[in-house]
Amino acid sequence: MTDMNNVPIMFFQVSATAIPTLLIAVAVGIKQGQTFAGFYERAVTGRHKRVLLVMTIVLPLIIILGELCALRAVLRGAGNELELLLVWGAYFNCLLLIFLEFIVPIGYKLKFKGFGKLMNGVSIGGGMLGLYMLLIAAGVIPL
């Protein structure tokens, strides 16, 4: 993992400010949950609906935990590896939600099969971005 001596406290200070800003962008874009409501309406199977319900709970939870970890690190004057990973996770989820807001209008114009392929591509791209962010947080790829 990343040696916390290499991650300055300013990272957590900036994160404590940037995450709420990204959340405002997400809130304005999602329009109070209409995006996920649209996903839920288009879901065919019960499994898809369960995944969407879990996603609407887990994504905001990770974002809130990342923000709290950034604030905790700022208050203590130092952060640990878990806080660093949760802050990166919050960034990732905010950017993922903003990206989904851009791609969903295109997906609604497609048939269900095309929409599924589009979301599979988004999932693969999101997974690759998440892996990239984890490699940065682990110190494998330098900042």
For residue 8, pLDDT beyond 70: yes
pLDDT in tens, 105-141: 777 677 777 777 877 887 788 788 778 877 877 778 7
- The predicted pLDDT at position 85 comes to 82
- The predicted pLDDT at position 43 comes to 64
Q: At a CB cut-off of 8 Å and minimum separation 6, what does 75 contact? A: none
- Is the CB of residue 95 less than 8 Å from the CB of residue 126? no
- The predicted pLDDT at position 38 comes to 64
pLDDT in tens, 21-33: 887 777 766 665 5
In our burial notation (b when 16+ CB lie closer than 10 A, e otherwise), range 11-32 reads bbeebbebbeebbeebeebbee
* Region for 33 from its dihedrals, namely left if φ exceeds 0, alpha if ψ lies in -120 to 50, beta otherwise: left
Rounded to the nearest integer, the mean pLDDT of the chain is 76
Residue type, 131: L
Mean pLDDT to the nearest integer, 24-53: 66
- The rounded distance, in Å, linking the Cα atoms of 51 and 72 is 31
- The predicted pLDDT at position 5 comes to 55
